[in-house]
Amino acid sequence: MNIIVAADKNWAIGNKGQLLVSIPKDHKMFREETAGKVVVFGRKTLDTFPGRQPLKMRTNIILSRDPGFSMKDALVVHSVEELMEELKRYASEDVYVIGGASIYEQLLPYCDTAHVTKIDHAYEADAFFLDLDADPGWKLTAESEEETYFDLEYRFLRYERI
C-alpha cells in the first residue's frame, strides 16, 4: 500500500483543516499517480475536495467513525479492520492513503511506499506526518531534482519500508 502526502520541512501537512499550500505540479503528480487507483481517506479530507465530492476516475474509500455517514460514489468503512477486509479486493500497489493526519497515522503501519512532496519551508500547522527521515524503518529511495513554485522550493521523494 502507498501513502501520498505533501509536507513542509517540519513534516507539517495541514492547518485548520486545510492544506498548507497548493502547488500545481504537486496536484498534477497526485492526479497522475492516483488516477484509476484506489484512494483511502477520512471524512474531514473529503471536506477539502471540490464540492465535497469523491475524486473522479478513482475508487474512493472513506474511513469514518460515524456509523451514519454515507457518500454517493464512495464506499464508507468504519474501522481499520473493515477497511483491510475491503482492500483485499485490490492490488496493494494500487491503493493510496491520501489523508488526513489521523488516517495517515492509523494506516502507515500497513504501507510500504510513501510518495512525499517535501516543501522547503516551515508553515504554521496543527497537523503533522511522521518524520520518515528519523524513522529507521524507512529509507529514501528516490528524489527528484529541486522544483520551484514562485519562491517555494520542493522535491518529490519516495521512501520505502525497510
pTM: 0.96
Say how many CA atoms lie within 13 Å of 5 toward its Cβ.
Answer: 30
Give me the phi and psi of 72, to 5 degrees please: -60, 140
> What is the full per-residue pLDDT of the chain (162 aa) written as tens digits?
999 999 999 999 999 999 999 999 999 999 999 999 999 999 999 998 989 999 999 999 999 999 999 999 999 999 999 999 999 999 999 999 999 999 999 999 999 999 999 999 999 999 999 999 999 999 999 999 999 999 999 999 999 999
Q: Residue ranges per domain, the chain?
A: 2-161
Helix (H) or strand (E) holding 59: strand 59-63
The CATH class for the domain spanning 2-161 reads alpha beta
**What is the SS3 assignment for 46-57?**
HCCCHHHCCCCC
